[in-house]
Amino acid sequence: MLKRVISLVLSVCVLAVCCAVFSGCSNDKNKDYPVTLGNVTISKEPKNIVVLSDCLADIISYIGYDVKMVGKSIDCDQAFLSVVPSVGLKGDPDVTKIIESETDLIITDSPLSDSAQQQLEKKNIPIVTMLKANSMDELKTLYSNLGMILGGNVTGKTKGEEAYTKLIDTLKSFDSSISKSIVKTAAYLYINDEGKLCSFTNGSIEQELFGYCSAINVFANQETPEVDIEKLKMSTPTYIFYDSDEVIDYLKADKNLSTLSALSSDHTMKVELTNFYRQGVTYEDTVYNIMSFMFIEPEATPDEATVNIQDEINATAKETQNETNTLEPASEN
């Protein structure tokens, strides 16, 4: 009889624990929606979304919610988004295509035309506008907010925060994989609308991203975008990364810059400026590709970068040591 009573009590306890566990899960799920950000409230999890911003599409893909995308603007020309149907221009999209996509939500980073805005409001399709981040703190918040919108206050927010942490940890792992005894100097250059040669300014998120590339940025203290030509000449960066071929033409046409060692040694690489404005998948790929150009042949994927970059460094060091050991006896004779 005692055994039966104990067994019954244990059964009740197990049942109570299970109920508490599943009730907790259910409560967390129930807490996911509605989500309110600014003046927009999302009542339930969006199943289909249209993303008009290439920056936000990049982040959404990195978080893992790209499977929800049923439409994009032509600005979202990243290769990994090629299967997503286009709905036209970012600021003035094809509303008919958007409606036909049966989207629950539109996400963008800039205002739509009055016509598009009015037509979408008539169809009760909510529009969420979120600006790209200008600092790493803002980027963390952006990841969190996008996660919340697409997955809920608890589930989605956690997913967004974990994605941000993964991004930063990956970028740090690229940098830490490089031996600090290998010193390389670099500059990123682009030409603005006024035809001026420019670089990233101190404190900008673009410069912070460039800082993960394990090279000394010769314009690390740049206060304004326009670069000092004399400083560029004197700093003689061993590597130059640039937005368009116009930059290289500019350098070669200037008698003070045409002799830069990066040009003569072919240590130049085109990295379009948009890569620094797409703050998800492209961020990771951009840092990896830049580092690959400076330190290894770009054969591995970003997931393999830490191992392969360090292997290349070790192999180069060993090769150099072998050459030294071989040559030294000969010089003594």
Higher pLDDT, 306 or 193: 193
pLDDT averaged over the chain? 85
**H helices of 177-268, where?**
205-210, 229-235, 245-253, 261-264
Report d(CA 39, CA 52) in Å as an integer. Answer: 19
| Average of per-residue pLDDT across 182-209 | 95
Q: Is 29 a member of any domain?
A: no
211 and 122 belong to one structural domain: no
CATH of residue 106's domain is 3.40.50.1980
For position 305, what pLDDT does the model report? 44
| Average of per-residue pLDDT across 286-308 | 68
45 and 161 belong to one structural domain: yes
87 and 197 belong to one structural domain: no
Instruction: Answer with the one of 168, 193, 211 that is the final residue of a domain.
Output: 168
For position 43, what pLDDT does the model report? 94
Q: Is 285 a member of any domain?
A: yes
193 and 316 belong to one structural domain: yes
80 and 130 belong to one structural domain: yes
Instruction: Answer with the one of 141, 168, 195 that is the final residue of a domain.
Output: 168
Q: Residue 290 is encoded by which pair of tokens?
A: 């830049």
pLDDT bin (cut points 50, 70, 90) of residue 175 is confident
65 and 196 belong to one structural domain: no
Report d(CA 305, CA 298) in Å as an integer. Answer: 9
Report d(CA 226, CA 198) in Å as an integer. Answer: 4
pLDDT bin (cut points 50, 70, 90) of residue 27 is low
| Average of per-residue pLDDT across 311-315 | 46
3-state SS of 41-61 is EECCCCCCEEECCHHHHHHHH
Report d(CA 138, CA 140) in Å as an integer. Answer: 5
For position 183, what pLDDT does the model report? 84
SS3 147: helix
190 and 293 belong to one structural domain: yes
Q: Is 125 a member of any domain?
A: yes
Q: Residue 66 is encoded by which pair of tokens?
A: 């790209």
Domain that residue 308 falls in: 181-322
Q: Is 162 a member of any domain?
A: yes
152 and 53 belong to one structural domain: yes
- List the beta bridge partners of residue 86: 72
For position 182, what pLDDT does the model report? 76
Q: Residue 22 is encoded by which pair of tokens?
A: 């599943």
Cβ–Cβ under 8 Å, residues 108 and 56: yes
For position 306, what pLDDT does the model report? 42
| Average of per-residue pLDDT across 44-52 | 97
Residue 81 has pLDDT above 70, yes or no: yes
| Per-residue b or e along 121-153, where b marks 16 or more CB atoms closer than 10 Å to that residue's CB | eeeebbbbbbebbeeeeebbbbbbbbbbbbbbb
| Average of per-residue pLDDT across 138-162 | 98
The angle that helices 157-176 and 281-295 make with each other, rounded to 10 degrees, is 10
Q: Is 1 a member of any domain?
A: no
> Is the C-alpha dihedral spanning 14, 16, 22, 28 positive or negative?
negative
Contacts of 43 (CB under 8 A, 6+ apart): 33, 34
Instruction: Answer with the one of 168, 189, 214 that is the final residue of a domain.
Output: 168
Report d(CA 133, CA 278) in Å as an integer. Answer: 10
Q: Is 114 a member of any domain?
A: yes
DSSP conformational letter for 201: P
pLDDT per position as a tens digit, 203-242: 999 999 999 999 999 999 999 999 999 999 999 999 999 9
Cβ–Cβ under 8 Å, residues 251 and 257: yes
230 and 200 belong to one structural domain: yes
